[in-house]
Chains A and B, each alone.
Chain A
């Protein structure tokens, strides 16, 4: 019915002399289907008729590139044949800027400045009291003095001081201090709008605009922080209808993890199959009818055998 026609045959008939004569000076990157022409432009010809000159040059170079492609090893599949491209040589630049890394905490920045490197500590520590190795923190930690009921007195102790309470307070202070540091690091690293909200405490003239915008931001968040996302709340007089919300960010370029994506797609599809009706009604009805027919038939045969040929149908 249909005949396969080779592309080269058509070309030979309609456009004889399409092949380029002369030396091939192009640099090729066939993996990207690219060719680069480094030869200089013929100024006189270009001035005469720029478009014609460029078109002619482009045609020649494309022809060279395509004839190179036809020389590549070929893999034939059902629909035709494919040229196997070599590896890409040219590196294509990114479209967007490189994503910025996580911001360093104050300690990390300081450590880098001073050249302090994190040293690996073993998890276990020698416990003098129990004469064995114990974990350096957590349950049953080494050198744990929290459960002690006697604390040795010092010269500096005053009468009336509770050493146990003092120890606890010191520990609490340390914890609080660390919490403060963590919060500060979070605020500094936070790219969100809410990072600096509520920082200006005095109601001076120059602080007013920031205080006003801060109030709005907090109000917007508070409005959405109900079970119905603020849908059924009473409205204050002159309240704006829409709250400002950040644009929902889609996973952007460079954030692709194809494997994760296909896994989540698979989950979605599986869920859809669970909902789908497994029963094919037409098929089920037909099977039922057929099985009934078969049963009737076998019943009849049995009757016939039992009756010894006395069945009405065969009596005549």
Chain B
């Protein structure tokens, strides 16, 4: 377990900013309790200071997991978000997409979202923007990247792709063993 290096934190925050924009500040400087980002075996965790201090007693090899896993660094140095960070993303998301109940299951099996399943979308969402997906009752079910902007979405036919799949809550069942 160690803090992120300068380069790593750049890559990491760039990815976070795609989804939550300036709200990253709220994650970095929390008012209730000091929190920090720690990297352990390629995975980035969001941990409270107290928990971090306590886990320092445990050798690196034996430390399986701590705090909330935000994602992992690939061997080529890219950062991939993990579904476990959904709580924070959903809380601070800048752009949101609401999914119709009929397409919820399809999304949760790892498919991209089609126009037919698009219930609502935040106004002025540009294309290629990170978005968090919700059910119509405001339960977060995943995140992805828009293929088209809100404006373009209106004219699309129902089978066109609207949101590319990045992560969904189905992963809690599918990838249970590698998730945390």
Contacts and interface: CB of A to CB of B under 8 A. Distances in A.
Interface of A: 79, 88, 92-95, 250-254, 256, 258-259, 261-263, 265-266, 268-269, 272-273, 276, 280-283, 286
Nearest to B36: A258
B52 A265 contact: no
B10 A268 contact: yes
23 contacts: A94-B57, A95-B58, A250-B5, A252-B2, A253-B1, A253-B56, A256-B36, A256-B52, A258-B36, A258-B49, A258-B52, A261-B36, A265-B9, A265-B37, A266-B25, A269-B13, A269-B28, A272-B10, A272-B14, A280-B124, A281-B126, A282-B149, A283-B124
Nearest to B56: A253
A261 B13 CA distance: 14
B6 interface: yes
Contacts of A88: 54
B13 A265 contact: yes
A258 B34 contact: yes
Given A94-B56, A283-B124, 8 more contacts: A93-B57, A259-B34, A262-B36, A265-B9, A265-B13, A272-B10, A273-B22, A282-B124
Interface of B: 1-3, 5-6, 9-10, 13-14, 17, 22, 24-25, 28-29, 34-37, 49, 52-54, 56-59, 87, 124, 126, 149-151
Contacts of B56: 94-95, 253-254
Please give me the 3 A-B residue pairs with the lowest Cβ-Cβ distance, nearest first: A92-B57, A258-B49, A258-B34
A94 B58 CA distance: 8
A209 B131 CA distance: 64
Nearest to B37: A265
B17 A272 contact: yes
A265 B37 CA distance: 10
A286 B126 CA distance: 12
Contact of A250 (B2, B49, B150): B2
A281 B2 CA distance: 40
Contacts of A92: 54, 57
Contacts of B124: 280, 282-283
A252 B2 CA distance: 7
Nearest to B39: A250
Contacts of A252: 2
Contact of B17 (A94, A266, A269): A269
Contacts of B22: 273
Contacts of A265: 9, 13, 28, 37
A269 to B, nearest CB: 5
B57 A95 contact: yes
Given A94-B57, A262-B34, A282 B151 contact: yes
A269 B25 contact: yes
Contacts of B150: 282
A262 B36 CA distance: 7
Given A265-B13, A272-B10, A283-B124, A256 B57 contact: no
Given A93-B57, A94-B57, A262-B34, A251 B14 contact: no
A266 B3 contact: no
Nearest to B13: A269
Given A258-B36, A262-B34, A269-B13, A280 B126 contact: yes
A266 B10 contact: no
Contacts of B2: 250-252
Nearest to B2: A250
A131 B137 CA distance: 85
A76 to B, nearest CB: 16
Nearest to B16: A269
Contacts of B17: 269, 272-273, 276
Contact of B29 (A254, A266, A272): A266
Contact of A262 (B6, B29, B87): B29
Nearest to B38: A256
Nearest to A251: B3
A88 B28 CA distance: 27
A79 B169 CA distance: 14
A269 B15 CA distance: 11
Given A258-B36, A258-B49, A262-B28, A268 B59 contact: no
Nearest to A93: B57
Contacts of B58: 95
B36 A269 contact: no
A95 B52 contact: no
Contacts of B151: 282, 286
B13 A272 contact: yes
